[in-house]
Amino acid sequence: MEWVVAEAKAVVIGAGPAGLRAAEALVRGGLRPVLIDEAERPGGQIYRQPPAGAARAAAQLYGFEAKKAVALHAILPRLADAIDYRPRTLVWNVFGNRLDTLGPEGQGGLAFERLIIASGAMDRVLPFPGWTLPGVFTLGGAQIALKAQGVAIGRRVALVGAGPLLPLVAHQYARAGATIAAVLDVTPLAAKVANAPGMTADAATFAKGLWYTLQNAIAGLTLRFGVRAIRAEGERRVVGLAWRDAAGRAHRVDCDAIGASFGLRSETQLADLAGCAFAFDAVTHQWIPQRDAAGRSSVPGVYLAGDGAGVGGADVAELQGERAALALMQDLRLPIDTGRATTLDRRLARQARFRRALEAAWPYPGHLVDAIADDEIICRCEGVTAATLRATARERDAQEMNRLKAFTRIGMGRCQGRVCGHAAAELLARTLGKDVAAVGRLRGNPPIKPIPVGGLP
Amino acid sequence: MIDAAPNGGLFHRLAPRDGATIAFTIDGAPAQARAGDLLLTAILLNRVALRRFEFGDAARAGFCLMGACQDCWVMLADGRRVRACTTLLEPGMAVVIDGVGRG
Contact B19/A53, CB-based, under 8 Å?
Answer: yes
Q: What is the pLDDT of residues A258-285, one digit of tens each?
A: 999 999 999 999 999 999 999 999 999 9
Report the pLDDT averaged over residues B19-32.
95
Query: What is the tens place of the pLDDT at every residue in A319-370?
Result: 999 999 999 999 999 999 999 999 999 999 999 989 999 999 999 999 999 9
CATH architecture entry for A7-122+265-336 = 3-Layer(bba) Sandwich (3.50)
CATH of A372-439, one of 3.40.50.300, 3.90.1150.10, 1.10.3720.10, 1.10.10.1100: 1.10.10.1100
Topology of domain A125-262, CATH? FAD/NAD(P)-binding domain (3.50.50)
Residue A38 CA, distance from chain mean position = 15
| Nearest alpha-carbon partner for A260 in A242, A280, A286 | A242
* Residue A360 burial (CB count, 10 A): 15
- Across the range A6-25, mean pLDDT stands at 96
Is residue A131 scored above 80 in pLDDT? yes
**Cross-chain Cβ contact B69/A45 below 8 Å:** no
Instruction: Report pLDDT for B53.
Output: 93
Which residues of B fall within a CB distance of 8 Å from A380? Answer: 60, 63, 69, 71
> CA nearest A133 in B: which residue?
B60
Do the Cβ atoms of A141 and B65 come within 8 Å?
Answer: yes
pLDDT (tens digit, 9 = 90+) per residue, A34-84? 999 999 999 999 999 999 889 888 888 888 899 999 999 999 999 989 999
Q: How many other C-beta atoms lie within 10 A of the C-beta of residue A155?
A: 16
- Assembly ipTM: 0.95
Residue A22 at interface with chain B, using a CB cutoff of 8 Å: no
pLDDT at site A182: 96
Contact A330, A352 (CB under 8 A): no
The band of B7, judged by pLDDT with boundaries at 50, 70 and 90, is: low
What is the rounded average pLDDT of the residues A133-147?
97
Question: Confidence class of residue B18 from pLDDT cuts 50, 70 and 90?
Answer: confident
Interhelix angle A66-73/A314-331, nearest 10 degrees: 30
Task: Give the pLDDT mean for A155-180.
Answer: 94
| pLDDT exceeds cutoff 90 at A5 | no
pLDDT at A305 over 70: yes
Q: What is the pLDDT of residues B68-95, one digit of tens each?
A: 999 999 999 999 999 999 999 999 999 9
Q: Does A209 or A158 have the greater pLDDT score?
A: A158
pLDDT score at B34? 95
| Cα end-to-end distance, chain B, whole Å | 9
Cβ pair A132:B58 closer than 8 A: yes
Residue ranges per domain, chain A? 7-122+265-336, 125-262, 372-439
**Predicted TM-score (pTM) of this structure:** 0.95
Please tell me the CATH code under which domain B21-96 is placed.
3.10.20.740
Instruction: Please state, rounded to an integer, the average pLDDT across all residues of chain A.
Output: 94
Smallest CA–CA distance, residue A176 to chain B, in Å, is 7
Same fold, A7-122+265-336 and A372-439: no
Gap between the Cα atoms of A166 and A209, Å rounded: 10
| pLDDT category of residue A457 using cuts at 50, 70 and 90 | low
| A147 and chain B in contact, CB less than 8 A | no
- Average confidence (pLDDT) over A15-26: 98
Question: Region A382-396: what's the mean pLDDT?
Answer: 96
3-state secondary structure chain A: CCCCCCEEEEEEECCCHHHHHHHHHHHHCCCCCEEECCCCCCCCCCCCCCCCCCCCCHHHHHHHHHHHHHHHHCHHHHHHHHCEEECCCEEEEEECCEEEEEECCEEEEEEEEEEEECCCEEECCCCCCCCCCCCEECHHHHHHHHHHHCEECCCEEEEEECCCHHHHHHHHHHHHCCEEEEEEECCCHHHHHHCHHHHHHHHHHHHHHHHHHHHHHHCCCCEECCCCEEEEECCCCCCEEEEECCCCCEEEEECCEEEECCCEEECCHHHHHCCCCEEEECCCCEEEECCCCCCECCCCCEEECCCECECCCHHHHHHHHHHHHHHHHHHCCCCCCHHHHHHHHHHHHHHHHHHHHHHHHCCCCHHHHHCCCCCCEEECCCCEEHHHHHHHHHHCCCCCHHHHHHHHCCCCCCCCCCCCHHHHHHHHHHHHCCCHHHHCCCCCCCCCCCCCCCCCC
Residue A1 has pLDDT above 50, yes or no: no
Cis bond leading into A447, ω under 30°?
Answer: yes
Asked whether the predicted pLDDT for residue A211 surpasses 60, the reply is yes
